[in-house]
């Protein structure tokens, strides 16, 4: 849990004159605002501040999937700190790694992430959706379709077995002999085991006739019950049935566009669009659509045209027009239309492990009246920061507390009291940024320790996966 010291440290950014002017204009109904001078980390903080201030659905469009992953993680941290919202309030909509008309299906994990993100956003559970332009320019079904793709099962509810199984199949769950991984289910008489997407454990439903008599989580390794629950949500694993991918079926509609007449921006009312680097977004979109058209042409005239899956230039502009838009850029590039506001930011220095110089910089900034936040990549780095603050006599506060001994000890050991101090917190902020006008410096995880990016969370694998993996690692001469 983040403590108030984090939001208090970030607060001066929200009081910057340029940002206040932008938020005020958007609140009064302005359709287009520009804010320049921002580094990547500054864009994430500004986006979080705008979303927290205006309290409306936000779609953040970025040039690529890699930028989306980093921006979303950083934005999620800032949004949690500023708005006090849970992490689920920010989600990523990844782009497909195959075109809908190609004879190859996208990666299942991409389909699952898209399905869950669209369901959560259309249902109102996610307020900020981060999307690379390749995902944002696709055509979509309406919000009611995505909101209906998940199903909630409650104890003592009437749920016909055939109807439940049909729903699981329709939204992408696979029937197996034993449930071991998310997205699997099995049926044995009136007992249904299912491992919901996003869940930590699978769930066992016991039906008496059509009535759910009990719901219990169970351990997928031992298959033994862990404890009873009152309800379970079964999120979708596919964006829509078959997702338009039907390889090998002659004459099949491979467009995946049945009922897809809407843009991503139509899924919620009063949506605010935030574009990170509009010119880079436009270049990425042009490359995408050129590639799409080339791919379509290689399939011949019988293929579904790319225009059935994506919004091209004229239609794209028509989709943007009804929505308020904020464009965030680093360089104040001259463009016709609107004069930009400027918010000066600059990257922090990199110290490459030089702890004395790093701590001297932090101490000097505190002495000069600046606010300083140090982002740690993990709990070990947070402990290291605490040790460095003790060693170099820099007052500090820990900006988080968790239900574990180490976190509680670090919070209790804070040396600052009521004096100005650096704030230490675990945060996925890779690149540091300085806001000179706001007297704020945020040091990123790579400024001192050069932390490697966190690996994506691994998904559970069947027990046989490691067995076959052992064979894959054999080399000639092994026995």
Return d(Cα 386, Cα 414) in angstroms, integer.
8
Return d(Cα 276, Cα 447) in angstroms, integer.
23
Answer whether residue 475 shows pLDDT above 60. no
pLDDT of residue 417: 59
The torsion of the CA quartet 271, 272, 276, 278, rounded to 10 degrees, works out to 90
Give 463's pLDDT tier (boundaries 50, 70, 90): very low
Give 411's pLDDT tier (boundaries 50, 70, 90): low
pLDDT of residue 296: 75
- Section 440-463 average pLDDT: 68
Q: Which residues are CB-neighbours of 224 under 8 A, at least 6 positions away?
A: 218
pLDDT of residue 89: 87
Answer whether residue 292 shows pLDDT above 90. no
Least confident of 66-70, 160-164, 306-310, 437-441: 306-310
pLDDT digits (tens, 9 = 90+) for 343-377: 999 999 999 999 999 999 999 999 999 999 999 99
- Section 81-90 average pLDDT: 78
Give 413's pLDDT tier (boundaries 50, 70, 90): low
- Section 147-160 average pLDDT: 92
- Section 178-195 average pLDDT: 93
Least confident of 22-36, 100-114, 297-311: 297-311
pLDDT of residue 326: 96
Answer whether residue 468 shows pLDDT above 50. no
pLDDT of residue 244: 46
Answer whether residue 395 shows pLDDT above 70. yes
Answer whether residue 433 shows pLDDT above 80. yes
Give 461's pLDDT tier (boundaries 50, 70, 90): very low
pLDDT of residue 290: 87
More confidently predicted of 413 and 55: 55
Q: What is the pTM of this model?
A: 0.85
pLDDT digits (tens, 9 = 90+) for 193-245: 999 988 899 999 999 999 999 999 999 999 898 999 999 999 999 886 444 44
Mean pLDDT of the residues in the chain: 85
Eight-class DSSP state of 352: T
> Residue 370 CA to chain centroid, in angstroms?
31
- Section 183-192 average pLDDT: 93
pLDDT digits (tens, 9 = 90+) for 298-353: 766 544 555 578 888 788 889 999 999 999 999 887 776 678 999 999 999 999 99
Going by their DSSP bridges, the two strands 272-276 and 324-328 should be labelled as parallel
Q: Which residues are CB-neighbours of 417 under 8 A, at least 6 positions away?
A: 395
The torsion of the CA quartet 386, 391, 394, 399, rounded to 10 degrees, works out to 0
pLDDT of residue 403: 61
Return d(Cα 440, Cα 11) in angstroms, integer.
9
Of 249, 234, 257, 98, the closest CA to residue 173 belongs to 234
Answer whether residue 249 shows pLDDT above 50. no
**What is the C-alpha R_g of the chain?**
25
How far does the chain reach from its first CA to its final CA, in angstroms? 51
pLDDT of residue 300: 63
Q: In this structure, what token pair is assigned to residue 230?
A: 């009152």
Largest CA distance in the chain: 74
Contact 444, 432 (CB under 8 A): yes
**Residue 342 phi, psi dihedral angles, 5° rounding:** -125, 135
Going by their DSSP bridges, the two strands 32-36 and 324-328 should be labelled as parallel
pLDDT of residue 250: 35
pLDDT digits (tens, 9 = 90+) for 45-78: 999 999 999 999 999 999 999 999 999 999 999 9
């Amino acid at each position: 849990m983040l403590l108030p010291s984090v939001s208090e440290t970030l607060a001066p950014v929200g009081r910057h004159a340029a940002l206040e002017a932008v938020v005020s204009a958007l609140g009064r109904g302005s359709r287009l605002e520009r804010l320049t001078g921002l580094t990547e980390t500054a864009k994430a903080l500004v986006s979080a501040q705008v979303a927290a201030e205006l309290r409306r659905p936000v779609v953040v469009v970025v040039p690529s999937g890699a930028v989306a992953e980093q921006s979303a993680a950083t934005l999620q941290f800032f949004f949690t700190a500023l708005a006090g919202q849970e992490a689920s309030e920010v989600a990523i909509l990844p782009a497909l790694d195959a075109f809908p008309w190609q004879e190859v299906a996208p990666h299942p994990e991409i389909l699952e992430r898209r399905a869950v993100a669209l369901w959560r956003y259309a249902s109102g559970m996610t307020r900020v959706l981060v999307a690379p332009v390749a995902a944002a320019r696709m055509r979509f079904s309406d919000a009611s379709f995505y909101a209906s793709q998940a199903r909630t099962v409650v104890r003592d509810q009437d749920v016909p077995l055939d109807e439940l199984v049909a729903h699981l199949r329709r939204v992408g769950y696979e029937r197996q002999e034993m449930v071991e991984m998310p997205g699997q289910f099995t049926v044995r008489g009136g007992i249904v085991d299912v491992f919901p997407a996003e869940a930590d454990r699978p769930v066992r439903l016991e039906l008496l006739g059509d009535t759910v008599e009990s719901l219990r989580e169970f351990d997928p390794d031992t298959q033994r019950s862990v404890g009873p629950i009152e309800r379970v949500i079964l999120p979708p694993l596919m964006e829509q049935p078959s997702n338009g991918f039907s390889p090998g079926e002659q004459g099949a509609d491979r467009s995946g566009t049945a009922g897809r007449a809407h843009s991503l921006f139509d899924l919620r009312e009063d949506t605010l669009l935030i574009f990170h680097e509009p010119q880079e977004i436009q270049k990425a979109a042009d490359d995408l659509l050129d590639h799409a058209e080339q791919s379509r042409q290689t399939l011949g005239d019988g293929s579904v045209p790319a225009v059935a899956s994506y919004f091209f230039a004229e239609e794209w502009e028509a989709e943007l027009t009804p929505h308020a838009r904020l464009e965030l850029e680093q360089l104040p590039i001259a463009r016709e239309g609107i004069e930009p506001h400027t918010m000066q930011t600059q990257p922090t220095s990199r110290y490459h492990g030089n702890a004395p110089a790093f701590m001297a910089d932090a101490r000097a900034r505190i002495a000069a009246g600046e606010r300083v936040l140090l982002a740690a990549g993990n709990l070990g780095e947070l402990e290291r920061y605490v040790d460095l603050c003790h060693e170099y006599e820099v007052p500090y506060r820990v900006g988080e507390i968790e239900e574990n001994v180490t976190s509680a000890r670090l919070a209790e050991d804070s040396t600052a009291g009521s004096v100005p101090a650096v704030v230490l917190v675990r945060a996925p902020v890779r690149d540091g940024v300085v806001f000179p006008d706001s007297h704020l410096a945020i040091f990123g995880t790579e400024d001192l320790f050069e932390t490697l990016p966190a690996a994506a969370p691994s998904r559970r694998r069947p027990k046989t996966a490691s067995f076959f993996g052992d064979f894959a690692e054999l080399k000639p001469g092994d026995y």
